Structures are given as C-alpha cells and as structure tokens.
Chains A and B, each alone.
Chain A
Amino acid sequence: MKRLDAPIARTYSGAASAAGPLLFVRSTRRAKLGEWVRIGGEGQEERRGQVVDVGTEITVIQVFEDTLGLKPADAAITLAGETATTVVGKDLLGRALSGTGEPLDGLPPSIGEARLPIWGAPINPVRRQHPSDFIETGVSAIDGMNTLVRGQKLPVFSAPGLPGVELAADIVENARPARGEPFAVVFAAIGITERETQIFVSRFRESEVMERTVLFLNQASDPTIERLLTPRVALTTAEHLAYTHGIHVLVVMADITHYAEALREIAAAREEIPGRRGFPGYMYTDLASLFERAGVLKDGKGSVTQLPVVSLPDDDMTHPIPDLTGYITEGQIVLSRELHQRGVYPPVDVLPSLSRLMNAGIGQDRTVPEHREWADQLYAVYARGREAKLMAAIVGSEGLAPGDRRALDFVDAFEGQLIHQGGTRRSLVDTMRIGWSLLETLPRDELTRISDTAWEARGRDEVSKEPPR
C-alpha cells in the first residue's frame, strides 16, 4: 500500500500522437509507471489517464475517457506524481458513485477518511486466514449445495438472457453473515445497461439495503477504459471497510466479461501479441489481481468476499474469460438456460456448480453437522436422475431400473421445490427442511450417503449460532 514519494505534478504541453485510447508523449522526464495523468488544454474537456509504458523517448498514456475530439498537439498533460487513488471511508455507505468514484446521487463528494492507491498490494499468504465462516445468501442452491464462505471468490456464470445480475442483486438484498456481524455490500457495476442500472438502484433503495451498500456504476455508455478502474476502486473501498472498520464486505462485480473486453481493447491498441480469442496473454495475471483481493486476514475482524458475475459468450464455459476466471476463483455458480426456460428461478445448475471452500464453512459449529451428507445425497440422486433423464429419452422411462425411475421423478421435484424459490429469501433451515422432505420420498436404503446419525438428526431447525472454537 506504499504510495509514491511526495507527489509532484508536472505539466507538459502537446502529445506526439494519439491512437485509440492511447496517447504518446515525448520526453516526459521522471515519468513513473502507473502514474495518474490529467489531460486538459484549451477548449478540451478534462480527461484522465494513466502511464502504462515509460521510456526516454516516448511515454505511453492510456486515456480512460473517450478520446473523440482529443487534439494531441494542443493537449496539456499533467503527470500527477502518484498512482491512481480513491477516497475511502465509512461515509461512502449509502452512496451511488460513478465507475471512478464521482457522486451520481446529487450529493457532494465524500470527504472520506483516507485516499488510497487503487492497485492494492497482494496479501502476504502467511497472513491469510483460511476462510471458514458461512455467509447465508438466502438462495437454496448456494447455501445448501454450494455454500459461500467469507473471504471466498465465487463467480456466477451467467449468459446473455440469463438472470445472473438479478441473482446477484437478490444476494445483495438477502445476504447476511451467520451470526449478525457487521456487514456491507460494495456493488461494482461494470458496463451494465441503463435498464439494469434502473432495476438495481430502485430495488436497493426500496429494500433499505442501500444504507449498507456502496454502489459504483460504470454503465454501458460510459468510456470502456474506465471499466479497468471500476472494480479496483470498488475493491479498495471494500478493503478499507473490511480491514480498517472490521466489516464483512461482499463485493459484487457485474459484469467481468465487460472488464475483460476493455482489457483486450487496450492490449490491441498497444499492438500486443494477442492470446486466445484476442485476449492478452497476461489476462490470467490481471484477473488474479482483482480476484485475489478477496480474503480474510489473521487476527483481523473484517473480510472481503467476492461474487463476480461473468457472462459466458455463446454459453461457452471454455471461452477464455470464464475459463481463466474458473482457474482463479474458488468455484462457480452456473446458470442454466434450460432451467431458465422452464421458469425455474434462480436457474442454478448444481451439477457443474462448485464451491471449493464449502467443506470449511459447513458442518458442526458452522451450519449443521449433517450438512455435507445432506448435500452429497441430494447431489447424488439428482445426478443419477439427470443421467436417467438422458437414458429415458432413448429407451423410455419404462425401460429404466426402478431406482433410476425414482431418481428421474426426483429431478423435477428437486428443481421445482429446492432450486426454484422465485424471488423470495430462504433461510438455510428452510432449505435443509425442503431437502430432507425430498429425500424422505425415497427408500432409506437408497440414501447411501446419509449415515444413521445424520438421518436421525434431520429436520432439526437450529443452525449453529455459536462461534466455532
């Protein structure tokens, strides 16, 4: 988190050339990599940029605003002497801000508590606490089957036409930590449409979650390159709330696909060698510099949990954006077009979904002791039923073995009762109860994943409230 030496701003007049979002400036003595730049000049609107390549002959500046109408020769270029920073503080809660932190709600800019560089620094791995505390999202498919844990980064894999952002908004409204600890949401909207923006802002205002939320809005019509800043501004804000104020912060970033496209645009403008589908070779490292900012510190009180939304281009999980995301994040919640078309909401397909940190966050002292067995059993029957469904399409359901036939019927019940919940919040206790009632429709000896102890204890309606040892 070290800042540059005392910032000294220097102004240069005129750039040598401009290409797309890049500005090439001659002989900027003492320019520093990552330095924040203001671009003005007579008759020119003020733009902001950042040094991405320093050299004795040419220094390259990436401009965050649209460069339409920018005259390189007349530009006054001010190097700020420090890297990009943002104002952080508790008074940001309840505010709606632009993608770079300017007020959008008509209120004056926040005074804040500090100005921090937005690039963050990696957490020293030995100072990380292994995440193990349950967050109740109010969504059965997540809480029950793919539990979210504080400090985790769990993306939602959505696709055009699927309600990924709506699901994220539901979670913003409904999420709460298991034991009522201080909680806040930082919502970074990256390149979302006007329609989506309206939905969120009005929903959050109505549901009173706004007072524990900071909203950063980079809309589809905002400059593309600004999208590279929005998640970092949001994460810096979240880190401050978490590590200075001991708040558990959930950061929702929607949509990472727009972010990655901005990254590609810059890479192309810099004539870098493109990797898969034109995305730069360092996209993994770059995405990691966002996602790895989730975590819990040892001896710290707060935490940063991330819920990025990724739109799968062409519903393709192997596309570089979801692929690299999946390699960095700790699991994924996958939405299914088929479930969506059948009216199941949220349309979560639990088979390819996964929460890698689930085991650490559930069970005795965390949720309920039989949580793992419960989830494994539901998963097993559902997986079997889905396979039976494929087979039934060929041989007809009469051709199935009795166990497969039961599993086949189970699929509809599971999707209709457990996964489907409309827009309502469901507690983990209720989720578990529905799950048990579904399992009770099957013969006990087919429930091989459930031990007798768990079976006897089922339906207990207490979730652990005691802090774990």
Chain B
Amino acid sequence: MTDARIIRVAGAIAEAQPLGDAALYELVEVGERRLLGEVIRIQDDVATIQVFEETNGLGLHEPVRRTGSSLMTRLGPGLLGSIIDGIGRPLEGLAERSGDFMTPGMTLPTLDPDTRWSFAPTVEAGAMVCGGDVLGVVEERPGMAHQILVPPGSGGRVAEIQEGSYTVSDTVATLDDGTTLSLSHPWAIRQRRPFAHRLPSDRPFITGQRVFDFLFPVVEGGSVAVPGGFGTGKTVIEQSLAKYAKADIMVYIGCGERGNEMAEVLHDFGRLIDPETGRPIMDRTILIVNTSNMPVAARDASVYLGMTIAEYYRDMGYHVAILADSLSRWAEALREIGARLQEMPGEEGYPTYLPNRMSRLYERAGRVESEGTPARTGAVTFISAISPPGGDFSEPVTQASLRVVGALWALDASLAHQRQFPAVDWDISYSLYTDGTTEWFAREGGADWAELRVETIRLLQRDRELREIAGLVGVDALEDEDRLVLEGARIAREFLIGQNAFHPHDAFSTVAKTYHLAKLLWAFMRTGKAALGDDVSFEKLDLAAVRRAFGSVKTAAPDALEQQIAEAEQTISDMGAP
C-alpha cells in the first residue's frame, strides 16, 4: 500500500490510514516534508505515529511512506568524536545544510559516507565466521582500534576478504552464500545487542570524584541513579565524569536539557586533553544532543541510540560509560506521548509501563563476554541523572530507578546551598558495589581503604547528631572530644568529599590522592584525640594551620602532591604542640 494519508495530527502524534500492514516501531516518513516518525500503535487500518520532528504545519491528506524497517542506526567507524541528535543525524552536517536553526525534514547519515578507512583483515578467505567475530581492524582515532565485527545473526565461510581503504558502505568481505559485509552494519536501536554471557564485575569504575570512589563506588558495568533537584549540580557531576572518569569510551546523552549547557560541553570537550593518552577527549567521546526544545519523540529515541552505540563498542571489548542527563526528560517524553494516545495513566500521569521500560533500559548495562572470537570482555556503565519535581525522591522516575540500579548518588539542595559540592547526601546515598570492590581498593588504594571508609561514614553520621545537639546548647557547651568530631567532619566535608570541579588539580582525584586525604583525616583525628588526652584543650589546637594544609593537598599539582602530603603530616603532628 503506497497511498497512506494523514487523517489526524495532534502534538507530536499523527495518524495515517490505510497503514494496517505496518509493523510496530516501523520507521515512516510523514507528510510532504518527509518528517521521520515511528509507528507506535496499529488499530485496524489506522497507524498511530510518533513524529521525531516538529509537526507544526503538518496537514490532513499528506502522504505517509513506510520504510520497511524500524529506527536503525549504522554502527561503524566514525562514531567517535561525533555530535548527533536524538535520531542520529550529525548536527554539524545539519548546520551546514540549514544554518543556525533546526529545519524539519532533513535526513543525513550518522556515519560520513565519504570518509575512507584503512582496513586490515584479521581472518583469511576460507575461514568460518559467525556473528560477533572480528573480521579485521580499522584505526578509528589514533590509538583507538575499531574492530569490524560480523553483524550478529550473520555468518558462514569467508569467500573473499579485502585489505585497503574503504568507506563505511563498501564491501570488504563476501561470504560463501553471497552475503556482503562492510565496515558498518545497521542495528535497530530499541533492540539490545547480543552477548555470550554476563560476567560479575569487581573492578571499580574510577570516577575521580572522591565522594564516589571512596564512599559510594560503582563498578564497570554497574548502573547509578543521580537524582537531584535543580541547582544541586547534576550536570556538573555528569560533565566531570564525562571529562575525567576512567573509561575507554564515553557516550554523553544530553536528553531534554539546556542548549547553552550543551554549548558548554561542546566548547569544553573540544579543548580538553586526556592526560593519559595525550589526545583530545573528544576522540573517545560521542555526544548525543537533544535539547529541551527539540522534538519530544526524539528525546525518547536518544537514550536508546546512546545505549546501542555503547553496546557496539562494548562488543569490541571496551569499557564504555553512558552519562545520561537526564532520564526524567526521557520519562516525560513517554508521558507526553502516552497522554496524547489517551492511555490510562499510572502514577503522576506517567504510563504504567514506565517502570518496565526503565528496568529494561538499565539492564542493558553490564559487564559481558562478547559473542564470537577472539574472546573479548567489555562493559557498559550507565549513569543517569534524574530531575525529580520539587527535589522529592518519592516520585515515580526516581523510585523506578532505585528498584534496578546498584548505586544511588542522591543530591541534596541544602548541601548545594551551603556550596558543598558534589552535593551528595551521604546519609541516603548508597552503593551495592562496595563489597565487590573492597579487594581492588585494598590492592590499588591502600590496605585499610575499607576501614577508612567505614570510619569516615561513621564520623559523618556522628557529626549530624552532634550538630543537632549543638544547635540546642551551643558549640561551647560540647565536650572537647565532640568538638574534635565536628572539626574532623568539617575537614572531611570540605577537603575529602568536597571537590572543586573547576580547579585544574582538584577536578579529578587519583585513587592515591583520595587515599592519602582519607589517611590524613584519620591522622588528624588520632593526633587530636591524643592531644586532648594529654590535657591540651581543644582551643589550643592549631586548626587553622591544619585546614590550610588540607587545602594545599587538595589542590596540589600532581608533582607537588607528595611534598604537600608530607607537610600536612608534619602540621598535623605539630598541631597540639604548645
């Protein structure tokens, strides 16, 4: 049937008839401007379509064309460093064609069709291959090997395989049955990519943020929810992780967020150099950008697109981190579309299938053994910001997330008002990955890592109790030992878990630096306690010097760190001296 026509348009939803033979989630071109859309409901011969582009100006009787496949993305070399919208169109390319503003109805391939890649095969003609096997390698960016995989589901004997320079759509290998393979293959973004089996994860994902690495660690392949009201610093955290955290590849999804923030990301990321590789961080980054005023249905797609790209690199054996900002906007897109379909709403108007969709999404994260040979293990870590209305965590998106994630980094507005950043509420945040990573941190950080961690959490809890008491009776009425606890907790908040995302030497903290700061805190507590035991009064302790010393360690340049730590140790041991 070719003459399907629009019979209704309301918001981002259109209905077309006759289109009863379409498949659910089939991609269609809507109207004379060929806006992309996706079939989300079929009733008799009427198909309901969510349109990924602005629908203003769409009229009755305009044609609707089927494409025969669902929303696909082409996976292949050229993804790294790209900036694409929610349905995979490169934004630079769109700007070249239509200028400063987005124009509906543009189609552009995600991968540049003209770039030639130098392909080196790793299998020979005559070899048997199956889905997931490595055919060969392309150097996508300097030092970044991009393995060309046999698409999942294909396989057979290699009849012919070429070496040399090819575009993403050129044939590089032919199988016995005539199947041609190129450097890229399409994948339906809503479908998860297969793997051989899941692996347990005991390797922490080093975020470089002390409050996370030290108190609430996440593993490679883990998932974290980061809820916080506005102004609590979600975006700064997501951006710090994207810039500095230790992953091979970063997929940053700006989902329904601010345009100026994305401009900042684009501006910063273009200039930052990864200290380890000496390469621009854009070389390992993929940015998916769908700002809040871009079409709402594309917001839904953007999250799946990011997940698919992450899984693709995972299958090559990389550790990929996805930073989604924010998943609430994705859930709201579902709600908006659900409401237009007049579905029976669940909690707070969200569709009843929200928790189900969310857990399926979160469960696409994980550490896995890939399909095919040679053996590869890769991981997808999923960190999603959540924007609960009014900062109230009892809302459905936060709650649905908590049922599946392995860690909660809860951000608190009152901490943010006190300029305590990252504003992580240590009372309600948690990580289920703590036990699994103890061994790694004991080996790579320090033997007493776990003890220091527990002690620090206890200190912070005691601090909260004491401050309540102090609020009633005044600080002066507290025992000296309690005042030492208050002071220790203040140091912990300011210098250990507090971190300045804009300070060149404080924005990222190595595991060693985190460990030493924790050690210093406990040296301070011990020395302080001993001094008080020797009848030195709390007032006599030289706290100003101690705080200065902690400050110097916190912001020390890497080559001065050791020196500053030594000096801080000295200051601490001298603090009770007369």
Contacts and interface: CB of A to CB of B under 8 A. Distances in A.
A200 B241 CA distance: 47
A127 interface: yes
B95 interface: yes
A27 B204 CA distance: 62
Interface residues on B, range: 35 or more
B532 interface: no
Nearest to A54: B9
A1 interface: yes
Interface in A91-137: 119-131
A284 to B, nearest CB: 6
Interface string B41-84: 00000000000001111111100000000000000000000010
A130 B332 contact: no
Nearest to B92: A126
Contacts of A121: 54, 101-103
Task: Count chain B CB atoms within 10 A of each CB in A33, A297, A326, A359 and give the residue with the most.
Answer: A33
A297 B101 CA distance: 10
Contacts of A400: 474
B267 A130 contact: yes
B336 A281 contact: yes
B336 A122 contact: no
B325 to A, nearest CB: 11
B231 A399 contact: no
A126 B61 contact: no
B263 A128 contact: yes
A448 B547 contact: yes
B60 A54 contact: yes
Nearest to A351: B417
B102 A32 contact: no
Interface stretch (A64-72, A165-173, A271-279): A271-279
Contacts of A34: 55-57
B102 A281 contact: no
A56 B419 contact: no
A162 interface: no
Contacts of B57: 2, 4, 32-35, 83
Contacts of A456: none
A357 interface: yes
**Which residue, A275, A359, A399, has most C-beta atoms of chain B within 10 A?**
A275
B292 A391 contact: no
Contacts of A394: 471-472
Contact of B336 (A4, A276, A282, A328): A282
Interface string A138-169: 00000000000001100000000000000000
Contacts of B259: 122-123, 125, 128, 292, 295
A399 B476 CA distance: 7
Given A243-B100, A351-B417, A124 B55 contact: no
A300 B59 contact: no
Contact of B91 (A28, A33, A124, A380): A124
B280 interface: no
Interface stretch (B169-177, B181-189, B389-397): B389-397
B263 A129 contact: yes
Nearest to B230: A326
Contacts of B102: 121-124
B100 A127 contact: yes
Nearest to A292: B293
Contact of B258 (A324, A328, A332, A445): A328
A446 to B, nearest CB: 9
B191 to A, nearest CB: 27
B126 interface: no
B55 A33 contact: yes
A342 to B, nearest CB: 21
B300 to A, nearest CB: 12
B222 to A, nearest CB: 26
Contacts of A328: 258, 292
A22 to B, nearest CB: 13
A127 B502 contact: no
A126 B332 contact: no
Nearest to B389: A323
A32 B61 CA distance: 10
Interface in A245-288: 272-276, 280-282, 284-285, 288
Nearest to A404: B475
B218 interface: no
B56 A119 contact: yes
Given A122-B293, A285-B332, A357 B473 contact: no
A383 interface: yes
B127 interface: no
B356 interface: no
A424 interface: no
Contacts of A448: 547, 551
B7 A125 contact: no
A292 B258 contact: yes
Contacts of B291: 122, 125, 288, 292
A33 B390 contact: no
Interface in B336-363: 336, 339, 342, 345, 348-349
B329 interface: yes
Given A53-B9, A328-B292, A83 B94 contact: no
Nearest to A399: B474
Of the candidates A29, A128, A131, the one having the most CB atoms from chain B within 10 angstroms of its own CB is: A128
B561 to A, nearest CB: 20
Nearest to B33: A2
A323 to B, nearest CB: 5
Given A29-B60, A285-B296, A448-B547, A152 B260 contact: yes
A183 interface: no
A124 B230 contact: no
Contacts of A356: 231
A15 to B, nearest CB: 17
B428 interface: no
A221 B278 CA distance: 63
A318 B339 contact: no
Contacts of B103: 1-2, 121
Nearest to A149: B260
A315 B433 CA distance: 41
B69 to A, nearest CB: 27
B264 interface: yes
Nearest to B332: A284
A122 B474 contact: no
Given A34-B55, A83-B56, A124-B99, 7 more contacts: A1-B101, A83-B57, A275-B335, A292-B258, A317-B390, A351-B417, A391-B471
12 contacts: A32-B58, A54-B60, A55-B10, A125-B289, A126-B289, A128-B262, A152-B260, A243-B100, A284-B329, A289-B293, A383-B417, A395-B472
Q: Which 6 A-B pairs have the closest CB atoms?
A: A318-B390, A288-B292, A32-B59, A34-B56, A292-B293, A128-B263
